[in-house]
Structure 1
């Protein structure tokens, strides 16, 4: 009787998850198909699960719009360097805050929380970046966002869950704080570190507002700024045809261009996410202590 109930539950559970996955994945697949479709198929209403003919005209149009190749490299540089800096500073700030023997720990934590909930605003941020000589610099997109209090609090709380017996054993063996952090805390904290790194990478990859304010040199523009300018130039209510440079007589609908733009902008993050997913569910503390 029990096995029959469980089997019925499994059936409904699998059915629900399958239908939910289809609902979630269909818009992404539809956008992918639309980006590789021609104008004739894109103009037809209905369920398009596979393009009649795979064409890359929309992508050719996108990559002919401005220096998108340079923007891609700038975005990759910003994402890699910015993510590494955020993770490094988050670890260095979270570790001392996780130690109960840190003097004035509660006061420092309160100051951090105040900074998280209250900020100076856009004008003071701009003046600070200008006075630091970072205007029109790639580091203007990295340094002002290098410290995130929310990330620090999350990592601090995770560090506090690590068994203190491991640290005490290391201290007895002569390890200092830096050795404990690098040889014990960081290896045991891979799940939270990867999670913070993924959040930071998504932020830097998608963020365009700071680049619009601080960057004037076209050689330093990031991908999302070009994507925004491209979408702003498109009238959402208009389904007129457009033609791109270097595409000959190929005609595209604006919906083709928008779909290809979405795929170009989110593609790298979608590819990275599965490799980071395994760290979200791993029980890293299992087996870390003997007996």
Structure 2
């Protein structure tokens, strides 16, 4: 009896497949270079002699390394106050955001919610029609939140878009049968949410925490409007002041007509500018790799299971 050889399960790669793969790799490397070059350039410029940066001699790697820019930035005592406040606003604000977004999205994901259509309509309406800056300020003022930490976290307590994304995640990912089984066992809605739904929702929680956290970290416009006490200023507002001070000092030097002093002040302003960029962005760049796997899973889960 002849035994027929088993057919190989290996997929034969055709010429068109190879061309497609090579094209994809070229495009991926092209986009990597486009994305990485500005990052490398800013890091290099922040530790390079400004004369090489301004003349265009430094185009990728640092030349005549100096840390004067970082030294001048960190010499300001306000920079540490800004870091402290921004970290506090980011942690507190993100916690409030998640405490509002997750329960709201879970409630809207349940088909038995009474008035779900009306609630969704009201939420979506706010995405297209904003109250405006003046009414928002008047509301914050009347609530007594001007010049307090609450002005930095309460007005942005939730994002309608993030609520919709989280609601979709709950609909697609959390099996309805699992919730029904918990109800049969006597679990309340709150117990089901906290002990079953949330532990299975780590990807979307990480994504929402990252979205909200980045927003709080980069926020400066709200502080510019609502805060006057320097002890409450976030990092971004402090860094903005440092840049403005350097620009003003340069203009004053120009009016004085001292060429050497003007050149020195312009050099300082240039090196401080790049150092400020690194100081403001470095914490987020450090934190992102730890959340990346959750971020990718949370973003792609809808398309994979849909």
Give the alignment's TM-score, normalised by structure 1: 0.87
Would you tell me which structure has more helix in proportion to its own residues?
A: 2
Report the counterpart of residue 157 of structure 2 in structure 1.
Answer: 146
Q: Which residue of 2 aligns with 1:169?
A: 181
Please give the alpha-carbon distance, in whole angstroms, between the structure 2 residues aligned to 1:47 and 1:12. 31
Equivalent position to 1:281, from 266, 285, 296: 296
Is the Cα–Cα contact under 8 Å of residues 241 and 254 in structure 1 kept in the other structure? no
Aligned counterpart, 2:69? 58
Q: Verify the 8 A CA contact 1:224 1:265 in the aligned structure 2.
A: yes
**Deviations, residues 221-248 of structure 1 (Å, cap 9, x unaligned):** 11111222233445599895456xxxxx
> Is residue 86–residue 146 contact of structure 1 (8 Å, CA) maintained in 2?
yes
Q: Which piece of structure 1 moves more, 252-261 or 229-238?
A: 229-238
Q: Distance in 2 between matches of 1:47 and 1:35?
A: 11
1:2 is paired with a residue whose SS is coil
Contact 1:42 1:253 in 2 (8 A): no
Deviation at 1:7, TM superposition (A): 3.4
Contact 2:100 2:157 (8 Å CA) reproduced = yes
Q: Which residue of 1 aligns with 2:126?
A: 115
Contact 1:85-1:146 at 8 Å conserved across structures:
yes
CA distance in 2, matches of 1:29, 1:22: 10
Aligned to 2:5: none
Encode CA deviations 1:122-172: one digit per residue, 9 max, x unaligned. 122212222222111111101111122221121112211222011111112
The SS at the match of 1:145 is coil
Give deviations 1:91-121, integer Å, cap 9, x for gaps.
1111111111111111111112223322322
Whether the aligned pair in 2 keeps the contact of 1:35 and 1:256 (CA below 8 Å) is yes
Partners of 2:98 and 2:59 in 1: how far apart? Answer: 42
Q: 2:53 aligns with which of 42, 50, 64?
A: 42
State the alpha-carbon separation in 1 of the partners of residues 284 and 145 from structure 2: 27
Deviation for aligned residue 1:190? 1.9
**Residues 242 and 210 (structure 1), Cα distance of their counterparts in 2 relative to 1, 3 Å cut:** farther
Alignment correspondent of 2:228? 216
SS of 1:144's partner is coil
Question: 1:209, 1:32 → 2: CA distance?
Answer: 26
- Cα RMSD of the aligned pairs, angstroms, is 2.5
Deviations 1:197-235 (A, max 9, x none): 111111111111110111111111111112222334455
Partners of 2:41 and 2:200 in 1: how far apart? 40
1:260 aligns with 2:275: yes
Query: What corresponds to 2:139 in structure 1?
Result: 128
Stretches of structure 2 that go unaligned for 5 or more consecutive residues are: 1-11, 255-261, 302-306
Note if contact 1:191-1:279 (Cα within 8 Å) is conserved in structure 2: yes
Q: Deviations over 1:246-276 (max 9, x none)?
A: xxxxx94422211111111111111111211
C-alpha distance in structure 1 between counterparts of 2:153 and 2:231, whole Å: 17
- What TM-score results when the alignment is normalised by the length of structure 2? 0.83
Instruction: Give 1:89 deviation, angstroms.
Output: 0.6
Find the residue that maps to 1:135 and give its secondary structure.
coil
Q: Which moved more, 1:101-110 or 1:34-43?
A: 34-43
Distance (Å, rounded) in 2 between the aligned partners of 1:210 and 1:34: 30
Q: Deviations over 1:56-108 (max 9, x none)?
A: 11011112346111011100100111011101110111111111111111111
Equivalence map 1:68-217=2 (5 Å):
68-161=79-172, 162-217=174-229
Q: Does the aligned pair in 2 maintain the 1:79–1:205 contact within 8 Å?
A: yes
